[in-house]
Structure 1
C-alpha cells in the first residue's frame, strides 16, 4: 500500500518539495495575505479567495480566479507584518506542492506534519495554518490536555512544538494523539523537525509530510506583490539571493511604499548584511584547507537538501567538527566562509567568553545561553573558539577538579542533546587538540577532527591574491611573495599586506611588490645568486634521486629566503621494507652529493638543525638498527636517544656505514640522470618553484644541447 508522503527514493522522511505551478502557488499565497490583512484590520477573518468569494470545499474553485482579479490588498502598504507575509508565501508553496491537500483538509481527516526547520518559524506557521488554511468557519483546537474536550467533528486539531521544551520529544504526547485519531478530524503538527519534536504516533500516522521550502526569486516577487499590491521583478543577483532570510524583510521594508523601492531596499539590506562576510572568501574560494574544505562542501549540500525537505536532520552526518592547527591558520575564517556559502547564520563564541564570568553558575549559564541562541537561529553554525580552554578532567586534580568537571559535563550535555540540537552545526577550534577532554570528541559530538596545516606555496599565492584584491601591484609576481612567506600563515599574509598598504598610503603612492616583500622579510637577508644556484642544485639532487628510486611522489620543490625545500608525499609507512628505507636514505643524501658532483664541495646546510637532511637520514638509519629490527642487532626494538646511541657498541659504525652506502647510491643515480639534474636545477633557479607535474613535463621535453648541461660549462662558486 502506497502512502502519500512516500514520494522520493532518497529518503523515507520528509520529501522534497515537488515543483508546483508557480501561478497556482502565487494565487494561494495572495489569498493567505488577503486573509491576514483582514485580520490585521479587525474585519472578517474567514478564508477568502482571490475573487473575494466565500470559502469553498472544492479546491479547484479556490485555485481558479479570474486572471485580472487580485485579493483585497492595499496599493501602498499592508498592515500584515513583512516576516509573516514571507511565511505565508512559504506555506502556500509547500501546500500547493501536494495536489488535493487543501480539499482533503476541508472535507476529510488527513494527518499533516510540517517541518519549519527553525524554532522561530513555528508560531508564524501556526497562525497561517489556523487563519488561512483552517479558517474560522471550521475552527481549530490546540492539541493539549485541556483542549482535547473541544476537539470534535468539524474542527481541526493543531499541535505545535518549537523544540525548545523538555517535553518536545517523540515519546511525549502520544496519549493525546491516541485520543484524537478516532475522532476522524484533520490533525496538523508543526515543529522544526517533526521526527524529533512531535509525538511519534502523529508522525507515523501522517499521510502528508511537508517542509517549508527555501526562498527563491519567484517567492520574493509574490511577497512584494502581496504587500504592495503591484508586481515587481526580483533584481537580486544569485549571491545576494542565497543570503536572504525571513528576518531581512522587516528590516528592509520598514519605510518603503512601492514594489520597486521594496526590491531595491531588500538589495541594500543584503549588501549591508553581507559586509562583514564579504571581507572573507566563500568556502569555494578558500585555499589550503584540504579535508576541511571537502567536509564543508559536503555539509553545504546536506543543508540545502535538509532545507528543501529531501533529507531529515539525523541523516546529516557532518554535524560536529573539531578544527585543529597552529594559530593563524584560518580556523575562524573557515567558519565564516562555511556560514557564507551555506547561507545560514554564524553564531560565534569562545571558551574565554564563558570563563569571563565571575562565578561557575555564570559560566554554565553562558554555555547554555549560546546553545539556546543557536537553536533559535537554526539552521545555523555555532563556532566555539579556544576549545582547549576547557581542561580535560583527567588533567585536573585537587580543588579545581569539581569546578572543571561541572563545566565539561555542561558542554557534553549541550553537545550530546541531538533532539535539542536540530539544525545546529557545531564547529570547535583549538590549537592543542590533545588538551581537550576525550568525551568532547566521542561519536555524536565533535567526532571529526581535521587539522588545518600551514598553507603551501600555491595556497599562499591565492591568499595573497585575495588580500591584494582588487588591485595588486603592477607586474607583481605573487609566487615571489609566496616563496618569501613560505612557512607563514594566512593571518600573517593579511598582516603583511595591511602594513604594506599603510606604508604606501602614508607615502602617498601606489602599493609596490617591494613594500610587501619588505614587510615579509623584515630585514631578513635574501639568498645571493651564488647561494641560490647551490640551493637549486641541492634540491634538484633530491628530486632526481627520489624520482628515480620511487621514493614517494614529488609535490613541489622551491627556493625561498631561508634555502630550499622538496615536498614529497609520505615516503614510507608500516608496509615499507628495508629496500624502501635505503631508497629514502639515498634521496636524503642526494642534495649533498649533487653539490659535490657539480660544485666540487658540500655546504654545511645539510646538517644544520634537527630538521636537516643529515639529521633526518641519521634518525632513519638509527631506526633501522634499533627499532625496525633490520640492523646488525637483528630483531630488536630499543627506544634510545641520539646521545645514547653513541655509547652502544657497533651502532654508530652501522649507522655511518648505512649513510655511506646511501651516498654511493645517490652518486651513481645522479651520474645516470645528469641531464635531469640540469633541467630541474636551471628551471628552479629561474622560477623559484616547480610543482610535481611541472617537473614531469620538464623532463619529457626533447634533449637539449649538451653545452647547456651543468658541468659542461664551469660554474663560478
Structure 2
C-alpha cells in the first residue's frame, strides 16, 4: 500500500491542477480490518481524497457512499515494471526478466529495487530468490497428462485447462469455467501433487497454502489477515490455481460449541466471504483438499463455491504399474512392473515417492542401476498369508459371505484373500464384498441384518476355530467399527433404537465422539452388537458345512466371485439359524 501511495503522489505531482489531493491508505487493525474511520475523518478536510483500498477487502457502506468514483487498479504487469525501471533507474530490462521477477512478492521486489542500488544488482538478487516465491511444487509427471491414478480428477483438470484457454482467448465467459473443486482421499494419495500438475497443464500460477499455515499466524485477526493475503496473492497472479489444504481443520459451524465456537465461526465465515468474490476472483480456480470431507462446513460446498467433489482413491493395479514406471525408471520390464504392482498393493503416491528416494540413495552409494529386486528390497518386508493363517482368514471371510447371503443383504461380488501383506500399510488380509440392494426406504431389520453380516467373520472364528482373532477390530473401517457406526445411527438418528431422539451427526468422527461422551449410547450400541453377534453365530452354526466349503475353496484359489461362491454352495443349501 505504501508503494502505491507514493506512486500516486508522484503521478499527481506532474498533473497541473488547482485541486489539492490527499492520498489515504488505511491501516489494518488487530482484527485484520481496515479503519474506515480514518477515511471518513479526512472528508472534513480541504483537500480532495484519493483512497487506496485493497480489492480483497469489502468497502464499507459509508466509504462507498462517500466515493464519487471507484476504479479497479489492475495487477502489476511486466510492461509496467519495465517502464518503471526505465523511468526511475534509467535502465532497460527485457520482458522475460520482468516476468520472472514479478513472481516475487511485491514487498520483496520493491526492497530489492530500492533507491540508491544499481538496478541490475537488485534484479540479480531477485533472480536468486524468485525460484521459491510463490511456493512451487515439483512433480515428477510435471503435467496432468503424465500422472496416473487420478481418474475423474484428471479428466476434470484437463477439461479445465481447455476452458481456461477458451476464456483467455475471449471465446467463453468466466461464468462458464469451473471455479472450484474439493479433492478428498486418504493421506498420501497425491492431492498436493495434483494441484501442482494442474497449474502446469493450465499454464497458470500456483499459490499453495493450508489451514495450519493460516492458524500458525497467531490470533483471530492474524489468521484472517493470512487468509486474505493468500487470496490477494492468487488474485494478483491470474490465471492462478489457489490450493487450500487441510480444509477439514476449519470444521462445520453446526458442530462448534464452547469458548472457541465464536472464533471458529468467524474463521469459516471469513473464508466463505473470500470464496464468494465472483468478479474479484475471475481467473482464480480454487482447489481444496481434505482427508475428511464430511467434516467440512456444507456451505463451502454449495453451488458457485467448491461445488465439484472428487474422491481420489489409492491407486489400483494398472495405476501402480504406471507409478512404478514413473518413479523407478524405463529400464524395468513389463514383468518387473507387474511384480511391483502386486507388491505395492495399498501404496499411495507418497509411498512410491518415499521408496524411490531410498532406491536413488542406494544407487548413489553402490553406483549401480535400478532393478526390480533393489526396489523390492526397499519395501516393507512381506508376510505371506499361508498355512494356518490363511485358513483363519478364509474362515473369517466365509463367515461374512454366508451370513450376508443367508440374510439376503445384497449381491455378493467376491470373496478374496491376499497372497501377502505389508503390515505397516494397515491392509486387511481378506475381503467379502457385498453390493447393498437399492430398496428405497430401509427398515430396522435391514440395518440389523447388515450389522449381523459385519459380525459374521467374528462369529465364524468363534464357531469353526474355537477362538477369535484381532482382525475384526483395532482399526478404522474394521468390522466392529462399521457395525458400531450403524448401531449408533439407529439409536440417535433413525428412531430404531431403545430411545427416540435425534442428534445431528454426519461423520464417523462425530459418531465415535458421541459414543465416547455418552455412556448410555455406548451401552445401547454394545447391546445391539452383542445381540447381532449371537444371531450371526446361530447362522454359522446352522451352516457350518457351507462356511467350511467356502473357506477351503478360498484357501485353494485365493479369489471367488459371486458365481464361484454359488457353485461351492450348491451342495450346501443355507439353513435357518436364529434369523
| Bin of the TM-score, shorter chain as denominator length | 0.5 to 0.7
The residue correspondences of 1:454-473 to structure 2 (distance < 5 A) are: 454-455=314-315, 459-472=319-332
Instruction: Tell me if the contact between 2:180 and 2:285 (Cα under 8 Å) persists in the aligned partners.
Output: yes
**Aligned residue among 276, 281, 284 for 1:424:** 284
Rate the CA distance shift 1:500–1:484 in 2: closer, same or farther, 3 A. same
Deviation at 1:319, TM superposition (A): 0.8
Instruction: Tell me if the contact between 2:461 and 2:469 (Cα under 8 Å) persists in the aligned partners.
Output: no
Deviation at 1:426, TM superposition (A): 1.9
Rate the CA distance shift 1:519–1:558 in 2: closer, same or farther, 3 A. farther
Whether 2:479 is the aligned partner of 1:613: answer yes
Deviation at 1:516, TM superposition (A): 3.5
Q: Counterpart of 2:285 in 1: which secondary structure?
A: strand
In 2, the alpha carbon distance for the partners of 1:368 and 1:628 equals 42
Whether 2:212 is the aligned partner of 1:350: answer no
In 1, the alpha carbon distance for the partners of 2:441 and 2:298 equals 30
Residue 390 of structure 2: aligned partner: 532
In 2, the alpha carbon distance for the partners of 1:626 and 1:518 equals 50
Which of the pair has more CA radius of gyration?
1
The residue correspondences of 1:136-215 to structure 2 (distance < 5 A) are: none
In 1, the alpha carbon distance for the partners of 2:55 and 2:455 equals 67
In 2, the alpha carbon distance for the partners of 1:393 and 1:636 equals 22
**Aligned residue among 174, 183, 187 for 1:323:** 183
Deviation at 1:334, TM superposition (A): 1.3
Residue 556 of structure 2: aligned partner: 682
Deviation at 1:677, TM superposition (A): 4.7
Residue 454 of structure 2: aligned partner: 588
Rate the CA distance shift 1:544–1:518 in 2: closer, same or farther, 3 A. farther
Instruction: Tell me if the contact between 1:374 and 1:381 (Cα under 8 Å) persists in the aligned partners.
Output: no
Residue 664 of structure 1: aligned partner: 538
Instruction: Tell me if the contact between 1:321 and 1:428 (Cα under 8 Å) persists in the aligned partners.
Output: yes
Rate the CA distance shift 1:474–1:418 in 2: closer, same or farther, 3 A. closer
Measured against aligned partners, the alpha-carbon deviations of 1:31-81 in whole angstroms (never above 9, x if no partner) come to xxxxxxxxxxxxxxxxxxxxxxxxxxxxxxxxxxxxxxxxxxxxxxxxxxx
Residue 506 of structure 1: aligned partner: 365
Rate the CA distance shift 1:585–1:393 in 2: closer, same or farther, 3 A. closer
Instruction: Tell me if the contact between 1:541 and 1:594 (Cα under 8 Å) persists in the aligned partners.
Output: yes
Instruction: Tell me if the contact between 1:552 and 1:569 (Cα under 8 Å) persists in the aligned partners.
Output: yes
Q: Which residues of structure 2 form unaligned runs of 5+? A: 1-53, 57-73, 75-94, 101-135, 504-513, 573-579
Whether 2:340 is the aligned partner of 1:496: answer no
Measured against aligned partners, the alpha-carbon deviations of 1:185-226 in whole angstroms (never above 9, x if no partner) come to xxxxxxx9xxxxxxxxxxxxxxxxxxxxxxxxxxxxxxxxxx
Instruction: Tell me if the contact between 1:536 and 1:564 (Cα under 8 Å) persists in the aligned partners.
Output: no
Deviation at 1:279, TM superposition (A): 1.4
TM-score (norm 2): 0.55
Instruction: Tell me if the contact between 2:416 and 2:431 (Cα under 8 Å) persists in the aligned partners.
Output: yes
Instruction: Tell me if the contact between 1:283 and 1:293 (Cα under 8 Å) persists in the aligned partners.
Output: yes
**Aligned residue among 173, 177, 185 for 1:312:** 173
Instruction: Tell me if the contact between 2:235 and 2:280 (Cα under 8 Å) persists in the aligned partners.
Output: no
In 2, the alpha carbon distance for the partners of 1:330 and 1:530 equals 37
Rate the CA distance shift 1:550–1:607 in 2: closer, same or farther, 3 A. closer
The residue correspondences of 1:622-633 to structure 2 (distance < 5 A) are: none
Residue 145 of structure 1: aligned partner: none
Instruction: Tell me if the contact between 2:455 and 2:479 (Cα under 8 Å) persists in the aligned partners.
Output: yes
Deviation at 1:444, TM superposition (A): 2.7
Instruction: Tell me if the contact between 2:355 and 2:375 (Cα under 8 Å) persists in the aligned partners.
Output: yes
Q: Counterpart of 1:444 in 2: which secondary structure?
A: coil
Q: Counterpart of 1:476 in 2: which secondary structure?
A: helix
Whether 2:247 is the aligned partner of 1:381: answer no
Measured against aligned partners, the alpha-carbon deviations of 1:573-631 in whole angstroms (never above 9, x if no partner) come to 9833344335424533443455577x754442345426543565566568768875557
In 2, the alpha carbon distance for the partners of 1:509 and 1:528 equals 35
Instruction: Tell me if the contact between 1:483 and 1:558 (Cα under 8 Å) persists in the aligned partners.
Output: no
**Aligned residue among 265, 270, 292 for 2:153:** 292
In 2, the alpha carbon distance for the partners of 1:391 and 1:435 equals 6
Whether 2:234 is the aligned partner of 1:371: answer yes
Instruction: Tell me if the contact between 1:537 and 1:595 (Cα under 8 Å) persists in the aligned partners.
Output: yes
Rate the CA distance shift 1:384–1:614 in 2: closer, same or farther, 3 A. closer
Measured against aligned partners, the alpha-carbon deviations of 1:498-539 in whole angstroms (never above 9, x if no partner) come to 213322442344444454444332x67655543234324433
The residue correspondences of 1:44-193 to structure 2 (distance < 5 A) are: none
Q: Counterpart of 2:379 in 1: which secondary structure?
A: helix
Rate the CA distance shift 1:445–1:674 in 2: closer, same or farther, 3 A. same
Measured against aligned partners, the alpha-carbon deviations of 1:157-182 in whole angstroms (never above 9, x if no partner) come to xxxxxxx999xxxxxxxxxxxxxxxx
Instruction: Tell me if the contact between 1:622 and 1:655 (Cα under 8 Å) persists in the aligned partners.
Output: no
**Aligned residue among 674, 683, 695 for 2:561:** 695
Rate the CA distance shift 1:608–1:399 in 2: closer, same or farther, 3 A. closer
TM-score (norm 1): 0.46
Measured against aligned partners, the alpha-carbon deviations of 1:86-142 in whole angstroms (never above 9, x if no partner) come to xxxxxxxxxxxxxxxxxxxxxxxxxxxxxxxxxxxxxxxxxxxxxxxxxxxxxxxxx
Rate the CA distance shift 1:565–1:501 in 2: closer, same or farther, 3 A. farther
Rate the CA distance shift 1:654–1:484 in 2: closer, same or farther, 3 A. same
Q: CA RMSD in A?
A: 5.4
Deviation at 1:565, TM superposition (A): 3.5
Q: Which residues of structure 1 form unaligned runs of 5+? A: 1-163, 167-191, 193-245, 252-274, 685-689, 710-717
Deviation at 1:321, TM superposition (A): 1.9
Instruction: Tell me if the contact between 1:646 and 1:652 (Cα under 8 Å) persists in the aligned partners.
Output: yes
Residue 415 of structure 1: aligned partner: 275
Whether 2:436 is the aligned partner of 1:577: answer no
